[in-house]
Structure 1
Amino acid sequence: MKKKRIWVPIVLVILFILLHLSPKLALRTHVVFMGHPVAAVTSELIQDNYHNETDKNQLKKLDAKVYTLTEPPIEEATQSELRNFIVKEVGFLYFAEYYGEV
């Protein structure tokens, strides 16, 4: 019983690390947790050259890049496309957030 208690947190930490080892994995994981698993798996991820160039100084400070989903999901509340995401590097892990159409 005690061995099971020890392994569950260890497995969860390993899974968390694996899902954040690359920018694309972190972005797909974020989109899944936003409630759009199909879009997370089927959409192609490309670097958003427009935002990466225009926001270059800010992104450099954050150690981040902006990615775009080629087939973005639609947010039901606003009927807007969830297209652009910023992916920040923290140590050896990556974390994604919705960037919007800024």
Structure 2
Amino acid sequence: MRKLIAKKEVIFLVTVAAIFIILHSTPSMALRTQVLFMGYPKSALTTKIVDDKYHNEMNHIKFAELNAKAYTLTKPPIEKATQGELRNFLVRKYGFIYLAEYYGET
């Protein structure tokens, strides 16, 4: 009985880890996952992601240290509280995993 529970736990953990790796395997997938978890599923699926040339050129030294790159959403979601556009995101690379965070309008 104990081996069956342990086997199910291992299968569950491996499945969760595989899903996490798939959702963070590329910069665009990590960015779409972040937008989805922020509560904007339509934008996560429909927006196009383009290279944010302005921020990447202006902050190239800082981004090189962070192992990061800025991206812009072409059809950004509108934040409900402030009615601001969530347009710019920073995607950092950790090994073979990418993680995205909102960068703001700086």
- Report if TM-score (shorter chain) is over 0.5: yes
Partner of 2:33: 29
1:7 positional shift: 1.0
User: Alpha carbon RMSD of aligned pairs, Å?
Assistant: 0.8
Shift of 1:5: 2.2
In structure 2, what is the equivalent of residue 79 of structure 1? 83
Task: Show structure 1 runs of 4+ deviating over 6 A.
Answer: none
- TM-score (norm: length of structure 1): 0.97
What is the 5 A alignment of 1:1-102? 1-2=4-5, 3-102=7-106
- Paired residues, what number? 102
Distance, in Å, in 2 between the alignment partners of 1:6 and 1:84 is 38
Report % sequence identity. Answer: 51
Q: Choose between structure 1 and 2: higher strand proportion.
A: 1
Separation of aligned partners in 2, 1:52 and 1:64:
9
User: Could you state the TM-score of these two structures normalised by the residue count of structure 2?
Assistant: 0.93
**CA distance in 1 between partners of 2:22 and 2:97 (Å):** 9
Quote the Cα distance in structure 1 between the aligned partners of 2:99 and 2:81: 24
Superposed CA deviations along residues 41-81 of structure 1, whole A, max 9, x for unmatched, are 10000000000001111101001100000000000011100
Pairwise CA distance, 1:9: 1.1
Larger Rg: 2
Unaligned 5+ segments in structure 1 are none
Structure 2: any 5+ residue segments left out of the alignment? none
